[in-house]
Amino acid sequence: MSKITDKVYELAKPVVEQAGCSLWDVEYVREAGCWYLRVFIDKEGGVSINDCETISRALDPILDEADPIPDSYVFEVGSAGAERELKRPEDFRQFMGSEVEVRLYQPINGSKIFVGKLAAYDQGDLSITAGNEDMSFKKAQIALVKLHVSI
């Protein structure tokens, strides 16, 4: 799947940037028996429905011509969201000091979810500060890291 998402990322990036946005992520997933190609965008001040529509209309014919996916799929363009997943090293650098939620594969002290300020990131390993406590996690322990919005 990564070859598909890499190819779509390459095709989408100039289209997204021309529309005044930045490309956050591309995912190709199977849900409820259907394949979905999702392009997630970001923009200073927030993404509007018009941004999504503009990029979708511009990118759709490019994807049809390049044909990176042989099967049928549902194509969606959306905002990366306030609680976006952090995946790439540059994502972690951009949000250093921000509040994140770390989800683990296996519980530590009875919990699989930890929330704190992102304090360090090194090749998949990371540290957070929650209150006065520093916690470190190895890449192999981490299922997901996303921004956390407190209400």
Residue tagged 């946005």 (tokens) = 21
CATH topology of domain 2-79: GMP Synthetase; Chain A, domain 3 (3.30.300)
C-alpha span between 54 and 63 (Å, rounded): 15
Q: Where in the chain is the domain with CATH 3.30.300.70?
A: 2-79
Helix (H, G, I), strand (E, B) or coil at 130: strand
- Two tokens at 108? 């530590």
C-alpha span between 12 and 104 (Å, rounded): 31
Q: What pLDDT was estimated at residue 71?
A: 87
Q: What pLDDT was estimated at residue 36?
A: 96
User: Residues 6 or more apart from 109 whose CB is under 8 A from it?
Assistant: none
Class of domain 89-147 (CATH, top level): mainly beta
Give pTM, 2 decimals: 0.83
44-96 tens-digit pLDDT: 999 999 999 999 999 999 999 999 998 899 999 999 999 999 999 999 999 99
34-42 and 22-31: which strand pairing?
A: antiparallel
Q: Where in the chain is the domain with CATH 2.30.30.180?
A: 89-147
